[in-house]
Amino acid sequence: MKKLLMTLAVASLLISCNKEDSTSVNESSNQTASLAGHRGCYSHEHLEEQLKADPTLAQRMNDIEVHTAKTAAAIETGRIVNGVLEIPVVVNVLYRTTAENISQAQIQSQIDVLNKDFNAQNSDYNTANNPYSSVRANVGIRFVLDAVYRKSTTKTSWGTNDAMKKSTQGGLNPTSPTTKLNLWVCTIGGGILGYAQFPGGSSATDGVVIDSKYFGTTGTATYPFNLGRTATHEVGHWMNLRHIWGDATCGSDLVSDTPVHNAANYGVPAVGHRSTCTGTPLEMYMNYMDYTDDRGMYMFSNGQKSRMLAIFQVGGSRASFR
Ligand code: ARG
Ligand code: ZN
Ligand code: CA
């Protein structure tokens, strides 16, 4: 494979530079061409000299070709449009009741919320007196509904052991989980709104589960979790974000521009609510990675954005989505 790529690399270099003067394949003919008033390009001859003089150069150039091939392929297949990564979304609906068999409109309403929340287009993005407005992020990831699969089942609730992701357990296997975000919509039970698999897990169970009563903004979506923010929060986890309180008293979320919280916030905290941790910082309770009601959360931070985008870079754990 390496040898083939190197051959391709050298072949493409050979044809790359001499469009203006295809006869200038060696020094003397190039000189002749220049003398005859043609434009010449010496880059390829220069490269050949450097390749002879430096035996390590070929390997470095090969590495560049490997990177270019991966990145260029993503751009050509249209998954990076104007710098914005597009993620195909597969929605797997598992239902027993007709209410659980949510409508296409409810599904689309959730896709719309994800697109607003991840592109600073949510109507509450500019909420007045946000003390953290200077670190608000436009994450720049778009979600495209790719397919909806529906399956009638006899289960009243699915729990959190991934049964909904396995056809052998009555669920639906994920579709192309290394290139598509799979969402499972079903009744979870136990007061759980949703849960996600972090990067690094098995692709057979990769994706996000959302209870159908907290999915989207219409149909069966139920207050105070009827603004589609459960999926925003869970997709944040799927993109490697931790809870803002670091899942411990005054814990760390591994993001430097979010303040330390002593614990999760619920409902809609009072403006100016402070942490009891060192320095008593103002809490960023309006962050999607807190536990407030849907109407109380409306931003990711720039540090969270960097953390999310990192996994999609070449070499990142979700680079296959590029
Ligand atoms: N995993 C969290 C839970 O099940 C989701 C919290 C989402 N918060 C929200 N406002 N929608 O409780
Ligand atoms: Zn969470
Ligand atoms: Ca932090």
Whichever domain contains 179, its CATH number is 3.40.390.10
Q: Is residue 3 part of a domain?
A: no
Closest C-alpha residue for ligand 1 atom 9: 230
Burial of 11: CB neighbours in 10 Å, binned 0-12, 13-18, 19+: exposed
The dihedral over CA atoms of 249, 138, 106, 161, expressed in degrees to the nearest 10, equals -40
Q: Is residue 260 part of a domain?
A: yes
How remote is the CA of residue 99 from the centroid of ligand 3, in Å?
39
How remote is the CA of residue 232 from the centroid of ligand 3, in Å?
19
- 20 as an active site residue: the answer is no
Q: Which of 198, 225, 291, 293 to mutate to test the pocket of ligand 1 (most atoms within 8 A of CB)?
A: 291
Is the separation of the CB atoms in 224 and 295 below 8 Å? yes
**Pairing relationship of beta strands 194-196 and 208-211 according to DSSP bridges:** antiparallel
Q: How high is the pLDDT of residue 18? A: 38
Q: Which residue ranges of the chain lie beneath pLDDT 70?
A: 1-38
E strand or H helix that includes residue 260? none
Distance CA(100)–CA(179), nearest Å, equals: 27
Q: Is residue 5 part of a domain?
A: no
> Which domain covers residue 72, as residue numbers?
10-321
For the stretch 160-173, pLDDT in tens is 999 999 999 999 99
Q: Ligand 1 site: residues with CB under 6 angstroms?
A: 192-195, 225, 229-230, 233, 291-294, 297
Q: Is residue 104 part of a domain?
A: yes
The tally of domains found in the chain comes to 1
Q: Where are the beta strands (DSSP E) in the chain?
A: 80-81, 84-95, 141-152, 181-186, 194-196, 208-211
Q: How high is the pLDDT of residue 37? A: 61
Q: Which ligand is nearest to the CA of 236?
A: 2
Q: Is residue 1 part of a domain?
A: no
Q: Is residue 132 part of a domain?
A: yes
